[in-house]
Amino acid sequence: MYFIVIRLLVFSALMVTSIAGANPTLMPQDFVYLDEAIPRIRLEMNYYSNRNFVGKPIDGYVKPRAILSRPAADALAAVQQDLSIFGLGLKIFDAYRPQRAVNHFVRWAADPYDTLMKSKHYPAIDKSRLFKEGYISSHSGHSRGSTVDLTLVSLDSGENIDMGGIFDFFGPESWAAAATPTPSQRAHRMLLQRVMEKHGFAPYSQEWWHFTLKNEPYPDTYFDFPVQ
């Protein structure tokens, strides 16, 4: 398993260098900070802290900021505007994710003894199956700059709307069409999905919080500049 991980990391480094340009550690001019681009948006950047499925700060998150490509940020601003009519808004869990953060996840997944956060984030799935089940990958759409993880909140108080599960819970309970949430929780998930789809985002069936801009500007580029 160790040699497989090393090969994945080497392949990742070569891919990032070859397709993201000569200096992939610089943020492109058409990427923006969401707290500057979208009024009243909330951030909960858990990968900057130890409040995540690894239980440690993740490589590449130097500051608790959220970054997206300008087209994705503009579409997300339209989502926020639509939700504000109902007194709702968006909270961002993750947006652009450096390739070095994805590499951190790969290394973590290869260590069968590091199960610090298992009871909270993957209680019913053996860690060795997280790749096969589609919860972790050696490359992430987040690194292309137009994928976002988010939830609904009260626009005024910032209180989370009950979605029937936490961010980064690995299991069928997190599937967008899961039957386990209550009717009101399913309605909240459906509202988020419908308004995101209205503004050009595609959902991910296994994670109710995960959406990618359909017409993303960098569909083949995986960036590695730090979040700072």
Q: Which residue has the higher pLDDT, 4 or 212?
A: 212
Any domain includes 221:
no
Any domain includes 16:
yes
Show the domain range for 64.
2-213
Any domain includes 17:
yes
pLDDT average, residue stretch 188-200: 98
pLDDT band per the 50, 70, 90 thresholds, residue 23: low
How many angstroms separate the CA atoms of 38 and 74, rounded? 8
How many angstroms separate the CA atoms of 199 and 71, rounded? 11
Residue 9 has pLDDT above 60, yes or no: no
Which CATH number belongs to the domain containing residue 81 in this structure?
Answer: 3.30.1380.10
Domain count, the chain: 1
> Would you state the structure tokens that stand for residue 85, as one six-digit string?
């009519």
Residue 13 has pLDDT above 60, yes or no: no
pLDDT average, residue stretch 194-199: 98
The predicted structure's pLDDT at residue 25? 75
Catalytic (active site) residue 207: yes
Any domain includes 219:
no
Using H for helix, E for strand and C for coil, what is the string for 178-218?
CCCCCHHHHHHHHHHHHHHHHCCEEEECCEEEEEEECCCCC
Any domain includes 161:
yes
Q: Given the residues 36, 159, 197, 207, select the one marked as catalytic.
A: 207
Are 151 and 161 spatial neighbours (Cβ–Cβ below 8 Å)? yes
Any domain includes 220:
no
Any domain includes 226:
no
Of 24-28, 42-46, 154-158, least confident by mean pLDDT is: 24-28
Q: Is 60 helix (H, G, I), strand (E, B) or coil?
A: coil
- pTM for the whole thing? 0.90
Any domain includes 158:
yes
Cα dist from 48 to 51, 225, 227, whole Å: 8, 15, 9
**108 closest CA partner among 132, 138, 133:** 138
